[in-house]
Amino acid sequence: MNEHVVRLEGAGRSFGASTALTGVDLTIRAGERVAVLGASGAGKSTLLALLNGSLQPSEGSVELFGAATAGLPARTRRGLQRRVGTVSQGLDLIEQVRVLHNVNAGRLAEWGTPRALASLVWPHPDERALGALEAVGLGWAVHERTERLSGGERQRVAIARLLIQRPDLVLADEPVASLDPTRAAEVLGLLGRATDSRGTLVVTLHQPQLARDHCTRAIGLREGRLVFDTPIADLASHLLDELYARA
């Protein structure tokens, strides 16, 4: 249970002259559920992008599952990326296809090219795909067109895609930003269950109460710097005040 899923050492990322994230030291172990807190523009999305490899750090180093992500051969990097599942802010669903295709998108990497291509033409709704959809309450929507679902339903499709990918690390960027409180608790519950046992969760949030209910650890970002890193029990209100205070 003590293996490092993520290790950042002095990691940061700049875009031209502006620094989105800088000097972050962070180690996350298997099974942890980490809430990332911070105002808009604090660098939360940038942090997640460093973790799933869609951005390379411009300073320091990022290690995933014990391997540095920079300069890996493509095959090895793909192997690592397969173990990371992301629900991004935009959901990144393929709008024009049936829901089933979007769920299967979670295992295209696992399937390998020929089977993946075949599934695009003829997707068999097997046990695992149906199970994932039922788990998020969308058992009825297997053959719906994705773009015809409501915002909340589309979000649950993205979670079903995550379930079927079976990642060791789940990254969720503001998964509940646009949901009412009941729905928000539901979605975090699903993400929590998706990461049961050895799975690890990193989720960016704006509501401290949800962090307290669903996470084991909280980190705070402010203007691209890590300002606190604490077990969830110690998440005190003065820490939060500092996070959202105006500069």
Partner 1 sequence: MTDLVEVARHDRDPTAGPDRAGRPPSSCRVTGRQVALRRGAGALIVLLPLTWALQRALPQGGDIVNRGGVPLIGDLLGKAWSPRLDGEFLEVVVDAAVTTLAFAALGTAGALVIGLLGGLVLSDVAWARRPPWPVRTVRTGLRGALVAIRSIHELVWALLLVSVLGLDPLVAVLAIALPFGAQTAQVFGDTFDALPTRALRALRDAGAPAAPAVAFALLPPAGPLMLSYAFYRFECAVRSTVLLGAVGVGGLGQELVVSLSSRNWDEVWTLVAAVIVLSAVVDAWSGRLRTDMAVASCSEWSAGDAGGAAGTGGRRPGSRWARWSAIAAAPGLVVAWFASGVSLSGLTSERTRMLAGRLLDDLVPPALPRGGAGEVTAAVLDTLAMAVLAMAIAVLITLVVSPWAVAVRRGTGPPGGLAMRSLRWISWLVARIVLLVLRSVPPTVWAVIALLALFPGVLPGALALGVYTGGVLGRLVAESWESVSPAPREALVRTGVPGAVATVAAVVPASAQQLVTFTLYRFEICVRETAVVGIVGAAGLGRLLAENLNFFRFPVVMTLLIASFAVSVASEVASRRLRRAIRA
- Candidates 9, 59, 63, 153: give the one binding partner 1 (CB under 8 A): 153
Cα distance between residue 138 and residue 159, in whole Å: 11
Q: Determine the Cα angle at 181 with ends 218 and 137, to 5°.
A: 100
DSSP 218-237: EEEEETTEEEEEEEGGG--H
- Sign of CA pseudo-dihedral 92, 45, 195, 71: positive
Within positions 40 to 59, which residues make up the interface with Mg ion, using CB under 5 A?
45
Contacted entry of ligand ADP, Mg ion, partner 1, none for residue 42, CB cut-off 5 to 8 Å set by kind: ligand ADP
Question: What is the rounded (10 degree) CA torsion for 169, 175, 180, 185?
Answer: 0
Q: Which stretch binds partner 1 (CB under 8 A): 57-65, 97-105, 207-215, 222-230?
A: 97-105
Q: Is 145 in the site for partner 1 (CB under 8 A)?
A: yes
* DSSP helix/strand/coil, 10: strand
- Candidates 20, 210, 215, 226: give the one binding ligand ADP (CB under 6 A): 20
What residues make contact with ligand ADP under the rule CB under 6 A?
Answer: 15, 18, 20, 38, 40-46
Residue ranges in contact with partner 1 by CB under 8 A = 52-54, 77-82, 84-86, 88, 90, 92-98, 101, 105-106, 108-109, 113, 116-117, 120, 125, 128, 131-132, 134-145, 150, 152-153, 163-167, 186, 189-190, 193-199
